[in-house]
């Protein structure tokens, strides 16, 4: 079963096996592995690095989080499996509350995810006792906390379902998404779509939060000059350049 160490994509295969283990432990839904693979494809197309338009979006995300009245960092199975420390570091830096919010909801998995975050040192993670619903969504994926997702004005959603991203926008929130696919419904709907791998994205947003904190004029300037459409266009141009590179002399 073990992956040979001489495989050229050993590191990427190791992340995959970690996620598969998290499925065994009940933290990640099996279909979360498929989402990861979809993201991997786009990461590959962007050279597995933070491209310039993603960095600009990460700076804008930091500005919006600092400007917020009630910012919230959401997390689901994949994001908790991939970067629990990164999620905590960002929510401490802003500061923002954390809420677990999952698509395939069971009480067992909610408890497992929140307990896992607590075992990593997180405190005050919302999600155990939902007391509100996101309007316009059927099924349990609408459930959320009033003090968290429901009342937030700026919300960071890593690896979010498109349906829910659109519903959050319809509530009037500023939605910051981390989704490697710049064409996904989530990326198209989001106020600040970030197409970057989650550990890189969280580290960069946290860095910008620390850099911008207290600098109101700079925060205003970052927000004023940001365009989600322009950022997505540049992201797609980067992907096309990388796709065509081998065919150019």
Applying CB under 8 A, the residues found at the interface with a copy of itself are 1-2, 4, 6-9, 13, 16-17, 19-20, 23-24, 29-31, 33-42, 44-45, 104-106, 138-139, 141, 162-163, 181, 183, 185, 233, 236-237, 239-240, 243-244, 247
Q: Which is nearer to a copy of itself, 6 or 129 (CB)?
A: 6
Q: Which is nearer to a copy of itself, 2 or 123 (CB)?
A: 2
- Residue 78 and residue 160 in contact, taking contact as beta carbons nearer than 8 Å: no
Binding residues for ATP: 16, 38, 179-181, 185-186
Q: Which is nearer to a copy of itself, 23 or 132 (CB)?
A: 23
Q: Which is nearer to a copy of itself, 58 or 163 (CB)?
A: 163
Q: Which is nearer to a copy of itself, 6 or 123 (CB)?
A: 6
Q: Which is nearer to a copy of itself, 24 or 129 (CB)?
A: 24
Shortest Cβ 12–a copy of itself spacing (Å): 9
- Helix or strand run (H / E) with residue 178: strand 174-178
- Residue 43 and residue 197 in contact, taking contact as beta carbons nearer than 8 Å: yes
Shortest Cβ 34–a copy of itself spacing (Å): 4
R_g over Cα of the chain: 18
Long-range Cβ contacts of 45-50 (<8 Å, 24+ apart): 45/239, 45/242, 45/243, 46/180, 46/195, 46/196, 46/235, 46/238, 46/239, 46/242, 47/242, 48/197, 49/200, 50/196, 50/197, 50/200, 50/201, 50/204
Binding residues: 16, 38, 179-181, 185-186
Shortest Cβ 158–a copy of itself spacing (Å): 16
Shortest Cβ 216–a copy of itself spacing (Å): 33
Shortest Cβ 137–a copy of itself spacing (Å): 8
- Residue 212 and residue 66 in contact, taking contact as beta carbons nearer than 8 Å: yes
Shortest Cβ 185–a copy of itself spacing (Å): 7
> How is residue 115 written in tokens?
């307990």
Q: Is 196 left (phi over 0), alpha (psi -120 to 50) or beta?
A: beta
- Give 130-171 as a DSSP string: --EE-TT--SGGGEE-IIIIIT-SEEEEET--HHHHHHHHHT
Q: How many CA atoms lie within 13 A of 39 on its CB side?
A: 28
């Amino acid at each position: 079963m073990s992956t040979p160490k001489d495989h050229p994509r050993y590191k990427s295969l190791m992340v995959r096996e970690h996620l598969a283990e998290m499925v065994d432990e009940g933290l990640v839904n099996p279909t979360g592995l498929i989402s990861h693979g979809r993201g991997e494809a786009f990461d590959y197309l962007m050279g597995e690095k933070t491209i310039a338009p993603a960095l600009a979006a990460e700076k804008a995300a930091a500005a919006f989080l600092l400007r917020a009245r009630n910012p919230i960092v959401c997390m689901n199975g994949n994001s908790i499996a991939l970067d629990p420390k990164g999620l905590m570091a960002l929510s401490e830096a802003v500061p923002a509350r954390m809420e677990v919010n999952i698509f395939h909801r069971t009480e067992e998995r909610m408890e497992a995810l929140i307990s896992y975050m607590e075992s990593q040192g997180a405190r005050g993670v919302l999600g155990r006792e939902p007391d509100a619903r996101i309007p316009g969504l059927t099924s349990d994926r609408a459930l959320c906390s009033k003090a968290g997702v429901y009342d937030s004005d700026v919300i960071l959603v890593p690896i979010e379902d498109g349906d829910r991203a659109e519903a959050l926008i319809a509530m009037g929130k500023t939605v910051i998404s981390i989704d490697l696919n710049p064409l996904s419904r989530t990326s198209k709907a989001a106020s600040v779509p970030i197409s970057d791998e989650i550990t890189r994205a969280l580290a960069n947003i946290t860095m910008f939060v620390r850099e911008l904190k207290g600098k109101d004029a700079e925060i205003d300037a970052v927000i004023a000059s940001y365009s989600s459409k322009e950022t997505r266009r540049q992201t797609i141009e980067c992907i096309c350049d990388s796709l065509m590179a081998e065919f150019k002399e």
